[in-house]
Amino acid sequence: MSGSYKEIDYRIRPAKAVERKMLCEAFRRLSTFQKIENYRYIGLGSTNFMDFALLHRSLGVTDMISIEKEKDDHERFWRNRPYRCIEMQFDETTIILPKLKWDIRSIIWLDYDSKLDKNILADVGIVCANACPGSMFVITVNSQPDSLFDEGKEVDRLSNLKQLVGNEKVPENVEGSDLRQWGVSKVYRQIITNEMLEILSSRNGVLPSSHKINFKQLFNFNYADGAKMLTFGGLLYTEEQESLLQKCAFCDLPFVREGEEPYLIAIPILTLKEIRKLDGQLPKKAGEELTLPAVPIGDIEKYEKIYRFFPTFTEADI
Amino acid sequence: MPESVDPNIIEASPTKELFIYMLVRDIPLIRALIDLVDNSVDGAVRSVTNNNYNDFWIRIELDKDHFKISDNCGGIPIDIARNYAFRFGRPEGAEPTPGSIGKFGVGMKRTFFKLGKKFKVDSSTADSHFLVEVDVDEWKTDIKNWNFRFKVLEEGIAPAQIGTIIEITSLYENVSENFALENFQTKLIEEMKTAHSLIMAKGLNISLNGIPLSSKVFSLFSSDLLKPAFVEKVIDTGPSPVKVKIYAGVSERIKSEGGWYIFCNGRMVLEADQTSVTGWGEEDNLADIPKYHADFAYFRGYVFFDCDDAELLPWTTTKTGVDVDSRIFKAVKLEMMTLMSPILDFLRKLAKEKSQKETGEIEESQLEKALSSATLTKYSEIQVQGKFVEPEVVLLPAGPRMARIAYSKPVDDVEKIQQIVNVTSNKAVGEKTFEYFLKYEVNE
């Protein structure tokens, strides 16, 4: 690959944009539990608040809280909110999360940009210990493998992982060689799942059988606009709500993943004109194939998989 | 026909219900599981004479429905099973097991009752085999009789496979829930490694659900310039003396791993201790040892107590701590502190050199250099000598005395200067502005 036209512009973060729309489409199905606009949304909006904007516009959610750890510059964040219904909470997630009211059904998306560590696992624990059934919990972490060498010496990736998350959280069968490429995402998924199961087990110990809370994995996204990222999440629900979960029919969505196998968001490199030409042929009829001369088949296939969520970027003089 | 009851008799015997309740109360689940592992390890120790455990294994299986531990560590002899192994408490006359870990005779039964309602012990030695199967609910219905029965009992035979299989089913709900969690399994593995790393390093294979455990390694930096300390003593306590070996020195700088490690008959009872138990940060002591902190993260001390009579060792009943009142431990602790003091002094010097290097007072740290050229050696392979030997520092001719200047200024101003001077670090801004002033305003 030589020409720069074949590369993605990281500044636009197209994979993230696709993921956001996919998650929004999945969240919509929560209306089986209660009216979606009555859900609360908790996220880490930073200065762009793109998830907040999307969920408010698409789903009508108004009860929104953005957690921001930046201690200074409160006013700047406040003034950048796209809609007035977004409440700001300024402090670390670990401090804010336990202070929130948890008797409201919520969509919680903790979109971190750092690697998995003890603090993030603690946040996972707080949510699992408190969120009410029918809540959706999603977490994004940076799963880029450590570079192989540091100042000439080979890096012990397993040791680094143990230091970050704690010895007792890393399953015994994980080896350094598992922490290459997308392997880190896989191991992170295991560690996060184990943490959730452990916390839920403790929470459930005192609950009657029908009220015990389970976690149903729905999202296992791997994507890389720059660094490799993992987005993992799903629904917290009680045994009593099993039928509601079935009605949501999450598994009808092509990007939902309930197990170890991830969904890789792969962004094709296409010009606007090429996108228009492909769109004209979509959705495909049975037996047909998409055609577009001079464009690699791989890119056509990638586009077909995600065309409904593909962002349209235009330059605008605003 | 009603039995004739003596009206003067007051019923005062314990109920099985109460007994089980009290027995399992104070022992945490992981501890109870490790008690069974200890028994297997004891069996291996009894069977080995050449310190090589390569042929021995312990396999543990657990999930939400069952627990099973099998080993090939010698098996349980019939008379031990009949008279001692299933008794509650160690009866007088039971022979001490040389070098054993399981000394209190309570472990096995306590674990069975803690885990579930059905247990099975199937054990074969070189010339015997037995099987005991107990349904606890059934056993409880017989108020008077506390005995178990052999379901199979064979003596004078030659079983093909020597060893023991213990299986517990009908697990209690809280046990079952724990067994289902991978995090619980990881914790159990960590504790097993802590307890039995030494014997695993000698070849004993332990696995959990098919995953083999790797042992922790205990090592110290060693070179011609840097030599770990070593002291060996024998404490005369009568027919079974207590042998003590102390190694002390420096290893990799990992804060959570620095400190003292205490072993009794090969089983680690204290890991990376940084408290006053092992002599850190006490007020009145002969060597003025400070509290543990990050500069001391290099420190490692390994103390090995060995004795044929396990009761004489300075450990607690749970085998997870040291009996601080033990006369033996108190005496050894003094030796530990004497060995530790010069090493901490070395580490203080090292920390000082490192910070001098950072402020630019010295070019490089000789101590740090000596440390990085030493090799990390397993404690058992170290050429032992006596007290800690630290590298000698060559005193360099003193350069000009330096003073440190530190101040804060608004970021915007600092960035403006950075642009003009064409540097990128705040440190460079400070240095360049100082040199500028010195050149134009001070120096002739």
Interhelix angle A157-165/A118-130, rounded to 10 degrees, is 50
Question: Quick one: which of A151, A149, A128, A148 has its CA closest to A138?
Answer: A128
Q: Are B336 and B301 in contact (CB under 8 A)?
A: yes
Q: Which residues neighbour B165 within 8 Å (Cβ) at sequence distance 6 or greater?
A: B68, B69, B70, B120, B121, B122, B123
Q: Please give, rounded to a whole number of angstroms, the shortest distance from the CA of A5 to a CA of chain B.
A: 33
ipTM of the complex in this document:
0.78
Q: Please give, rounded to a whole number of angstroms, the shortest distance from the CA of A108 to a CA of chain B.
A: 24
Question: Quick one: which of B184, B212, B219, B227 has its CA closest to B198?
Answer: B219
Which residues does chain B have within 8 Å of residue A171's beta carbon, measured at their own beta carbons?
182, 185-186
Q: Are B280 and B274 in contact (CB under 8 A)?
A: yes
Which residues does chain A have within 8 Å of residue B189's beta carbon, measured at their own beta carbons?
172
Ramachandran bin of A128, using left for φ above 0, alpha for ψ from -120 to 50, beta for the remaining angles: alpha
Question: Quick one: which of B314, B143, B292 has its CA closest to B237?
Answer: B314
Taking the C-alpha atoms of residue A74 and residue A243, their distance in angstroms, rounded to an integer, is 44
Do B186 and A171 make contact, defined as CB atoms within 8 angstroms?
A: yes
> Among the residues of A92-241, which ranges form H helices?
93-96, 118-130, 157-165, 183-204
Which residues does chain B have within 8 Å of residue A206's beta carbon, measured at their own beta carbons?
none
Do B190 and A190 make contact, defined as CB atoms within 8 angstroms?
A: no
Do A194 and B174 make contact, defined as CB atoms within 8 angstroms?
A: no
* A/B interface, count of CB pairs below 8 Å: 37
Could you tell me if B174 lies within 8 Å of chain A, comparing CB atoms? yes
Amino acid at B229: A
Taking the C-alpha atoms of residue B163 and residue B355, their distance in angstroms, rounded to an integer, is 58
Q: What is the pLDDT of residue B103?
A: 45
Taking the C-alpha atoms of residue A308 and residue A18, their distance in angstroms, rounded to an integer, is 9
Do A169 and B186 make contact, defined as CB atoms within 8 angstroms?
A: yes
Taking the C-alpha atoms of residue B324 and residue B318, their distance in angstroms, rounded to an integer, is 14
Q: Which residue of A has its CA nearest to B214?
A: A172
Q: Residue A303: in which H helix or E strand, if any?
A: helix A297-306
Q: Are B64 and B176 in contact (CB under 8 A)?
A: yes
Q: Count of alpha carbons within 13 Å of A199, Cβ hemisphere only?
A: 20
Q: Which residue of A has its CA nearest to B254?
A: A163
Q: Which residue of B has its CA nearest to A172?
A: B186
Taking the C-alpha atoms of residue B212 and residue A211, their distance in angstroms, rounded to an integer, is 38
Taking the C-alpha atoms of residue A184 and residue A141, their distance in angstroms, rounded to an integer, is 11
pTM: 0.79
Residue B397 preceded by cis peptide, ω within 30: no
Q: Are A193 and A121 in contact (CB under 8 A)?
A: no
Taking the C-alpha atoms of residue B389 and residue B382, their distance in angstroms, rounded to an integer, is 13
Over B63-108, what HEC string results? Answer: CCCEEEEEECCCCCCHHHHHHHHCCCCCCCCCCCCCCCCCCCCCHH
Which residues does chain B have within 8 Å of residue A201's beta carbon, measured at their own beta carbons?
177-178, 180-181
Q: Which residues neighbour B311 within 8 Å (Cβ) at sequence distance 6 or greater?
A: B96, B103
Q: Residue B113: in which H helix or E strand, if any?
A: helix B107-115
Which residues does chain B have within 8 Å of residue A172's beta carbon, measured at their own beta carbons?
185-186, 189, 208, 211, 213
Do A198 and B183 make contact, defined as CB atoms within 8 angstroms?
A: yes
Which residues does chain B have within 8 Å of residue A198's beta carbon, measured at their own beta carbons?
181, 183-184
Could you tell me if B173 lies within 8 Å of chain A, comparing CB atoms? no
Q: How far apart are the first and last CA of chain A?
A: 35
Amino acid at B189: I
Q: How many CB atoms lie within 10 A of CB B10?
A: 5
Could you tell me if B184 lies within 8 Å of chain A, comparing CB atoms? yes
Could you tell me if B177 lies within 8 Å of chain A, comparing CB atoms? yes
Segments of chain A with pLDDT less than 70: 1-11, 151-152, 313-318
Taking the C-alpha atoms of residue B368 and residue B350, their distance in angstroms, rounded to an integer, is 7
Amino acid at A96: I
Taking the C-alpha atoms of residue B428 and residue B418, their distance in angstroms, rounded to an integer, is 8
Residue with tokens 């120096």: B443
Query: Closest partner residue to A168 among B177, B186, B211, by Cβ?
Result: B186
Could you tell me if B246 lies within 8 Å of chain A, comparing CB atoms? no
Do A195 and B183 make contact, defined as CB atoms within 8 angstroms?
A: yes
Q: What residues does B155 pair with on adjacent strands?
A: B128
Could you tell me if B272 lies within 8 Å of chain A, comparing CB atoms? no
Which residues does chain A have within 8 Å of residue B186's beta carbon, measured at their own beta carbons?
168-172, 194
Strands A86-90 and A63-68 come out as parallel
Do A205 and B182 make contact, defined as CB atoms within 8 angstroms?
A: no
Q: What is the pLDDT of residue A139?
A: 97
Q: Residue B246: in which H helix or E strand, if any?
A: strand B242-250
Q: Are A217 and A259 in contact (CB under 8 A)?
A: yes
Could you tell me if A172 lies within 8 Å of chain B, comparing CB atoms? yes
Stretch 179-238 of chain A: residues touching chain B, C-beta under 8 Å: 190, 194-195, 197-198, 201, 205
Query: Closest partner residue to B181 among A172, A197, A205, by Cβ?
Result: A197
Q: Are A146 and A175 in contact (CB under 8 A)?
A: no
Question: From the candidates B60, B186, B189, B206, which should be mutated to test the interface with A, based on the most A CB atoms within 10 A?
Answer: B186
Do B186 and A201 make contact, defined as CB atoms within 8 angstroms?
A: no
Q: How many CB atoms lie within 10 A of CB A292?
A: 17
Taking the C-alpha atoms of residue B220 and residue B374, their distance in angstroms, rounded to an integer, is 9
Q: Please give, rounded to a whole number of angstroms, the shortest distance from the CA of B98 to a CA of chain A.
A: 33
Could you tell me if B26 lies within 8 Å of chain A, comparing CB atoms? no
Q: Are B84 and B175 in contact (CB under 8 A)?
A: no
Q: Which residue of B has its CA nearest to A205?
A: B174
For residue B187, what are the CA distances in angstroms to A168, A195, B65, B353? 6, 13, 19, 39
Do B211 and A198 make contact, defined as CB atoms within 8 angstroms?
A: no
Q: Please give, rounded to a whole number of angstroms, the shortest distance from the CA of B209 to a CA of chain A.
A: 11
For residue B421, what are the CA distances in angstroms to A38, A118, A191, B427, B430? 58, 42, 49, 12, 11
Could you tell me if B178 lies within 8 Å of chain A, comparing CB atoms? yes
Calculated CA dihedral for residues B391, B392, B396, B401, nearest 10 degrees: 80
Do A167 and B187 make contact, defined as CB atoms within 8 angstroms?
A: no
Helices (H) and strands (E) in chain A, counts: 10, 10
Do B211 and A167 make contact, defined as CB atoms within 8 angstroms?
A: no
Q: Which residue of B has its CA nearest to A195?
A: B183
Taking the C-alpha atoms of residue B367 and residue B376, their distance in angstroms, rounded to an integer, is 16
Q: What is the pLDDT along chain B (444 residues), one digit of tens a residue?
A: 455 678 888 888 778 888 888 888 878 899 899 989 988 998 898 888 888 899 999 999 999 999 999 999 988 888 888 887 887 766 665 555 555 555 445 568 889 999 999 999 999 999 999 999 999 999 988 888 888 899 999 988 888 899 999 999 999 999 999 999 999 999 999 999 988 998 998 899 999 999 999 888 899 999 888 899 999 999 988 888 999 999 999 998 888 889 999 999 888 999 999 998 998 886 545 556 788 888 899 999 999 999 988 888 999 877 778 999 998 999 999 889 888 888 998 998 889 888 888 877 777 788 888 888 888 888 888 888 888 888 887 766 666 777 888 899 999 999 999 888 888 888 889 999 999 888 888 876
